[in-house]
Chains A and B, each alone.
Chain A
Amino acid sequence: GAGVSQTPSNKVTEKGKYVELRCDPISGHTALYWYRQSLGQGPEFLIYFQGTGAADDSGLPNDRFFAVRPEGSVSTLKIQRTERGDSAVYLCASSLGSGGAYEQYFGPGTRLTVT
């Protein structure tokens, strides 16, 4: 079946601009996660949705970052007033349910470059 999809695959934006990154999880997966991966590092947790609500947004670095999942499927990560330090690969993952035992499957990622 189809895996997690993310669009765009690459995004180049100027410092100070607003960007939206989209994630479409595996069909039937209720849990959705956003991670961010910098070069040479493992992915770092940003936010977790169970259904429509953000169950945990403790990994969002500051209030410029916001994410929504209005219908419990597709999610959008929104970044306001982008900074060069926001440049990274943004990964979305989904799992069949919540809880540590559920396996998380990653999408191909969006490479964000802030110039």
Chain B
Amino acid sequence: QKEVEQNSGPLSVPEGAIASLNCTYSDRGSQSFFWYRQYSGKSPELIMSIYSNGDKEDGRFTAQLNKASQYVSLLIRDSQPSDSATYLCAVTGGSNYKLTFGKGTLLTVNP
């Protein structure tokens, strides 16, 4: 069974710090990796996608992928209170369109 594991948190960081969110996955065939942000009572919002090993940066967000270690992470630089949310890691495999999600990590950014 394909699994995606995340530390449920909560992860608490001060405003302006770097938040580091981690995710591991069990299916070595996984090829596409996504980070979604979900505010309380809202639906998941796509913030990053990454498909190849290495880093991908978009503004304050950097996604990192290491397929050999089956590990994907999300770094949020200069964290803001508005970043406080649950961050969901999701993966798909090759032509497999199903997103398999982790349970999410709750991030709290303290002013």
Contact = CB atoms under 8 A, between A and B. Distances in A.
Interface of A: 31, 33, 35, 40-45, 48, 56, 59, 89, 91, 93, 95, 98-109
B97 A98 contact: yes
Contacts of B95: 98-100
Interface string B44-81: 11100101000000000000000000000000000000
B97 A31 contact: yes
B111 to A, nearest CB: 26
B88 interface: yes
A106 B43 contact: yes
B97 A33 contact: yes
A56 B98 contact: yes
Nearest to A43: B101
Contact of B103 (A40, A93, A101): A40
A106 B51 CA distance: 20
Contacts of A31: 97
A105 B99 CA distance: 11
A98 B95 CA distance: 8
A10 B103 CA distance: 23
Contacts of A93: 99
A101 B46 CA distance: 13
B82 interface: no
Interface in B5-30: none
8 contacts: A33-B97, A45-B100, A48-B97, A98-B95, A99-B97, A101-B31, A104-B46, A106-B44
